[in-house]
């Protein structure tokens, strides 16, 4: 009886160990080849989409619906994702053995809807850091829209913070940045968004963005302008230094001395920047991660080119060449996975690595005035909808 128990115990250990070994092989991507009866290595492709329920095509063959996992032999695959009423997503992915590659995809509407935010004609919409507030001018003063991450996006009506016609006495149907400033008024947010420095033909005024200040109570701070700008620039520099302090030293040097318009993704895992000088980003600044992006990167940094750097994966991608800030803008969507590019005639959404570029709006858009909603489901743009005889207004575009 004792020998039987010992035998059963040993048999149980062997069976459990064998099953555990098979489970480990399966988790690593190994699959049993029915022809050779051998376990062969494969890669795992995980496809997630927002919204879910999209069709997944691999090498032009329908393989299922999202969200799904696929065990595939190591190699390169063309992956396309389709869903009715949404723009198709496409990318060429390389799978490695014993590695999980994830495609976490956001789909965007093919026919976005429009909602007017203003009706009387506005000029020079300007965003605070992080797009938490957006200010604009009309014939009645300067206004602010609170862009906080509420479930429905902009939850409050525009709020006036000072009065007076800041658009100029002569209406214009072309509101680019340089022309707006020539009308006699310009403004910018403080780094924390609590104040606005308003410049008019009558002086320079520092006003509170959280309350209404009538013209009669605005205090001219022209003699302190340089001091205010220096103080604000120091705040911005301190914030950037805090964000980059744990990055590789070589990257810190590039971002501090050879880059401008540095913008971290909302989750601070990626960096969008424009090179102000040429540089060469050395490979393997961090240890390579399994399943990292296999998209083509560009570590030869060229002046006036715009890039994104993935901090976790040590990958650097070219996004745009010779971007002109007067008529083009690039910014993060709140999901930290997509970028928006606004340029004359169109607005494009792309993956953070510059691939899968999709036009979500084309027409009478006034660049560079495009901004993200706090919930990431809409954009706010300045447009006259192609009617050149009308002043542009702010419209929201539902893209998700």
Same domain, 79 and 177: no
* Range 267-272 average pLDDT: 96
In angstroms, the CA 238 to CA 385 distance is 41
Polymer length of the chain: 400
In this model, does residue 25 exceed pLDDT 80? no
> What phi, psi does 194 have (nearest 5°)?
-85, -20
Q: What is the pLDDT of residue 16?
A: 59
168 domain-assigned? yes
Least confident residue range of 8-12, 29-33, 189-193, 246-250 = 29-33
Domain edge (last residue) among 72, 88, 106: 106
Element (H, E) at 35: none
The burial class, CB within 10 Å (0-12 / 13-18 / 19+), for 290 is exposed
In angstroms, the CA 390 to CA 30 distance is 63
Average pLDDT over the chain, rounded to whole? 85
* Range 219-237 average pLDDT: 94
What does the DSSP 8-state code read for residue 389?
T
* Range 55-78 average pLDDT: 93
Same domain, 18 and 41: yes
Same domain, 372 and 334: yes
Domain edge (last residue) among 106, 139, 172: 106
Count Cβ atoms below 10 Å from residue 177 Cβ, excluding itself. 16
Q: Beta 61-65 vs 159-163: how paired, if at all?
A: unpaired
CATH code at position 85: 2.60.40
In this model, does residue 150 exceed pLDDT 80? no
Partners of residue 102 on adjacent β-strands:
46
Same domain, 45 and 139: no
273 domain-assigned? no
Same domain, 208 and 333: yes
In this model, does residue 57 exceed pLDDT 90? yes
Candidates 322, 331, 349; CA nearest to 272 is 331
In angstroms, the CA 39 to CA 220 distance is 78
In this model, does residue 238 exceed pLDDT 90? yes
257 domain-assigned? no
146 domain-assigned? yes
Highest mean pLDDT among 84-98, 144-158, 364-378: 84-98
Same domain, 119 and 88: no
> Is residue 126 very low, low, confident or very high in pLDDT (cuts 50, 70, 90)?
very high
Number of domains in the chain: 2
Q: What percentage of the chain exceeds 90 in pLDDT?
A: 62
156 domain-assigned? yes
* Range 63-76 average pLDDT: 92
287 domain-assigned? no
Token pair for 243: 């964000």
Q: What is the pLDDT of residue 288?
A: 77
In this model, does residue 155 exceed pLDDT 60? no
Collapsed DSSP state (helix, strand, coil) of residue 101: strand
Same domain, 35 and 94: yes
* Range 320-330 average pLDDT: 85
Q: What is the pTM of this model?
A: 0.84
The burial class, CB within 10 Å (0-12 / 13-18 / 19+), for 23 is exposed
Partners of residue 44 on adjacent β-strands:
71, 100
Which residue's structure tokens are 């399943």?
291
In angstroms, the CA 262 to CA 382 distance is 24
Q: What is the pLDDT of residue 27?
A: 56
Q: Range of 65's domain? A: 2-106
> What contacts 12, CB < 8 A, 6 or more positions away?
none
In this model, does residue 175 exceed pLDDT 70? no
Least confident residue range of 133-147, 163-177, 345-359 = 163-177
Q: What is the pLDDT of residue 325?
A: 77
In angstroms, the CA 268 to CA 398 distance is 25
In angstroms, the CA 17 to CA 11 distance is 10
In this model, does residue 145 exceed pLDDT 50? yes
Same domain, 34 and 124: no
> Is residue 99 very low, low, confident or very high in pLDDT (cuts 50, 70, 90)?
confident
Domain edge (last residue) among 106, 124, 146: 106
In angstroms, the CA 47 to CA 66 distance is 6
Same domain, 66 and 174: no
> Is residue 97 very low, low, confident or very high in pLDDT (cuts 50, 70, 90)?
confident
Least confident residue range of 203-217, 305-319, 366-380 = 366-380
Same domain, 227 and 365: yes
> Is residue 34 very low, low, confident or very high in pLDDT (cuts 50, 70, 90)?
low
């Amino acid at each position: 009886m004792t020998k039987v128990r010992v035998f059963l115990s040993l048999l149980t250990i062997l069976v459990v160990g064998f099953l555990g070994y098979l489970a480990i092989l399966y988790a690593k991507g190994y699959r049993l080849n029915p022809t050779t009866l051998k376990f062969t290595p494969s890669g795992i492709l995980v496809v997630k989409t927002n919204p879910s329920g999209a069709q997944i095509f691999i090498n032009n063959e329908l393989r299922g619906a999202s969200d799904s996992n696929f065990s595939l032999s190591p190699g390169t695959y063309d992956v396309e994702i389709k869903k009715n009423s949404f723009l198709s997503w496409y990318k060429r992915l390389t799978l490695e053995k014993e590695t999980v590659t994830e495609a976490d995809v956001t789909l965007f509407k093919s026919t976005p809807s429009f909602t007017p935010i203003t009706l009387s004609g506005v000029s020079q919409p300007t965003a605070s850091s992080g797009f938490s507030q957006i200010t604009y001018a009309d014939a009645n003063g300067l206004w602010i829209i609170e862009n906080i991450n509420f479930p429905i996006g902009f939850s409050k009506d525009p709020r006036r913070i000072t009065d007076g016609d800041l658009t100029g006495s002569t209406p214009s149907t072309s509101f680019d940045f340089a022309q707006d400033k020539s009308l006699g008024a310009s403004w910018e947010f403080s780094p924390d968004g609590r104040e606005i420095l308003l410049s008019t033909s009558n002086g320079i005024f520092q006003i509170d963005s959280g309350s209404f200040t009538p013209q009669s109570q605005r205090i001219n701070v022209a003699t302190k302008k340089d001091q205010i700008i220096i103080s604000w620039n120091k705040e911005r520099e301190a914030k950037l230094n805090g964000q980059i302090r744990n990055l590789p030293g070589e990257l810190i040097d590039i971002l501090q001395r050879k880059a401008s318009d540095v913008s971290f993704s909302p989750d601070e895992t990626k960096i969008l920047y424009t090179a102000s000088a040429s540089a060469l980003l050395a490979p393997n600044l961090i240890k390579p991660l399994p399943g990292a992006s296999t998209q083509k990167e560009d570590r030869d940094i060229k002046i006036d080119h715009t890039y994104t750097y993935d901090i976790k994966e040590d990958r650097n991608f070219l996004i745009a060449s010779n971007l002109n800030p007067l008529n083009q803008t690039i910014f993060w969507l709140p999901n930290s996975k997509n970028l928006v590019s606004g340029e004359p005639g169109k607005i494009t959404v792309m993956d953070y690595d510059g691939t899968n570029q999709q036009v979500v709006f084309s027409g009478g858009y006034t660049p560079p005035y495009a901004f993200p909603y706090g919930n990431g489901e809409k954009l706010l743009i300045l447009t006259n909808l192609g009617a050149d005889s009308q002043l542009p207004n702010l419209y929201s575009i539902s893209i998700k």
